[in-house]
């Protein structure tokens, strides 16, 4: 699923996977979210509502560039370092094609459906 994303006003390549959770996330678009650091591994932001996690894919460890959803907190996570071991609570939604450095410094993301 193609999407348009900007980090701090500059476009980045982005795509969502075809999981039910990613489709529920896409229903929230467009979104502009302020990002904050979390443990020097990811940038996080609260979503306007929790996503439906039924039918979620098998857990995998987050990798650099992954766009993920942390179900217990209902937040979006953008990984600029490889994440922890696979967890059923962390669901990969898609990927951002951006440098680790730029992602690690990002303060705002805007995500829109591709036209």
Six-digit token string for 15? 């795509």
Residue 44 has pLDDT above 90, yes or no: yes
Going by pLDDT thresholds of 50, 70 and 90, the confidence category of residue 50 is: very high
To the nearest whole percent, how much of the chain has pLDDT over 90?
89
Total domains in the fold of the chain? 1
Q: Work out the average pLDDT over 9-38.
A: 96
State the average pLDDT for the chain: 95
Going by pLDDT thresholds of 50, 70 and 90, the confidence category of residue 1 is: confident
Q: Work out the average pLDDT over 82-108.
A: 94
Give the structural domain span for 34: 3-113
- Confidence (pLDDT) at 39: 94
Report the CATH number that the domain containing residue 71 is assigned in CATH.
2.40.100.20
Give the Cα-Cα-Cα angle 72, 77, 81 (nearest 5 degrees). Answer: 125
Six-digit token string for 112? 């829109």
Going by their DSSP bridges, the two strands 90-97 and 66-70 should be labelled as antiparallel
- Confidence (pLDDT) at 102: 95
Say how far apart CA 34 and CA 110 lie, in whole Å. 9
């Amino acid at each position: 699923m193609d999407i348009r994303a900007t980090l701090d006003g500059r476009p980045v390549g982005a795509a969502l996977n075809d999981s039910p959770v990613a489709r529920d996330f896409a229903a929230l678009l467009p979104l502009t979210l302020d990002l904050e650091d979390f443990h020097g591994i990811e940038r996080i932001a609260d979503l306007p509502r929790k996503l439906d996690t039924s039918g979620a894919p098998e857990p995998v460890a987050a990798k650099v560039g992954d766009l993920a959803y942390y179900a217990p907190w209902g937040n979006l996570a953008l990984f600029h370092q490889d994440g922890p071991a696979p967890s059923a609570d962390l669901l990969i939604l898609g990927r951002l094609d951006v440098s680790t450095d730029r992602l690690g410094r990002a303060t705002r993301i805007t995500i829109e459906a591709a036209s």
